[in-house]
Amino acid sequence: MKRLIRRLTHPQSDKVIQKGATTEKAAQNAPDTMLETPPQQDRNTMADSSAAFQNREANTSTSSHTHDMIYKYSYVPDFFKNYADIADSSLNGKVSTQPALGILEKEYDGESANPTTNGERAQQWVRFTNYIQELNRRHINDGTSYKLLYIIRHGQGIHNVKMDELKVAEEAGTLEIIDGKPLNWKNYWSHEDGDGKVIWADAQLVDKGIRQAQDLAKLWIDEAQKDALPLPGTVYTSPLARCLETTRLAYTPVMARHGRRLQAVIKENLRERITDHTCDRRSTRSWIERNYPDYTIEEGFSEEDKSWDVTKSESLEQHVVRIQRLFDEIFSNDASPIISLTTHSYALTAILALVGYPKFLVNEGTIVPLFIKAEKVTQNTPPS
């Protein structure tokens, strides 16, 4: 397959890799090819309920991991399809991108939310966008604000491919066993940078992941023929390579159509839950600046990855506190009513726990909407 998208230096070495030049199968046999994978703990252990988490937070306000909350966050139901129900009814238990992002047909409070042109009512997305703005006008003086979040899980990377391969081999009983333990992803390969053929430390997208990200760009173009999705005012991304590239592929064509240049903002706290897996270790600031020069890197972003530590792993509770800190910063400083976050599977789990949304999983390269209410809390007083 002849398809040269662009060439990037390997984020964890000085090698040059060719992105999108082969299929996944061929890419795995090419020494200079690099693909991605999210940190893989057992997916069944991701989930404490959001209510249980909030109860623990209320009882651990003196913990070193707590954060003086600026806002209490909650999701606003009944504006989009229930994504937990969609996941439950899907064959693999995960959500894929829904048509029109699953927005529900409904009336909104307030005349400005339901404009008419020549006697015809505006389309659903136009009216919903107006409704968000109307809500924020109503609450301009009471410390409450609303935002629509487009949450994107990165496209498939080499670590995802490697994990799938190992799972199949383990189920077939063909994995090597040492000291009674199979050399699967969790026990062995997640701690390596690669397998001698490919590298998955801060892995990049495979061909399928590239296509998934490009399909997200088509979403806005296709929906524009029906009921145009509003573009985000700000695009935020995790600093891991798979998210940086997903963001570029998903938004650059769309922004160009609207006469805008993609200027994504890189946020350290959007990264995946930190574990001892090498796919959780980000590349240097210099590498990011070379390969994504139009992106804005947040203040205080270090050259080396100071968060990743082979001896430490982040708990769900610690991850939710980190997301709380991220949200507080965004809601305090970004007036955009619609924003986009390109992130990871476990990060989505932490976001859902923070806002009290029932847990669900998503496939790679999927976008889901969350309508969020933020209520200002008294300093040093835990939310009720």
Structure tokens at 22: 């082969």
- In this predicted structure, what is the pLDDT of residue 141? 93
Predicted local confidence at residue 118, as pLDDT: 62
| Among 272, 251, 271, CA closest to 340 | 251
pLDDT at site 44: 35
Instruction: Of 125, 158, 153, give the one whose Cα is nearest residue 349.
Output: 153
pLDDT at position 110: 77
Residues of the chain with pLDDT under 70: 1-67, 111-120, 224, 227, 379-384
Q: What angle do CA 45, 50, 51 make, to 5 degrees?
A: 125
Residues 207-222: tens digit of each pLDDT: 999 999 999 999 988 8
pLDDT for res 101: 96
The dihedrals phi and psi of 117, each to the nearest 5 degrees, come to -130, 120
Q: Residue 78's pLDDT is what?
A: 97
Q: What is the pLDDT of residue 12?
A: 61
User: Could you tell me how far CA 228 lies from the centroid of its own chain?
Assistant: 22
Helical pair 345-355 and 316-333, crossing angle rounded to 10 deg: 70
Q: What is the pLDDT of residues 251-305, one digit of tens each?
A: 999 999 889 999 999 999 999 999 999 998 999 999 999 999 999 999 999 999 9
- pLDDT value at residue 7: 41
Distance CA 184, CA 77 (A): 40
Dihedral over Cα of 27, 28, 29, 30: its sign: positive
C-alpha 282/C-alpha 54 separation (Å) is 30
Number of H helices, E strands in the chain: 10, 15
Whole-prediction pTM: 0.83
Topology (CATH) of 41-155+207-376: Rossmann fold (3.40.50)
Helix or strand run (H / E) with residue 9: strand 6-9
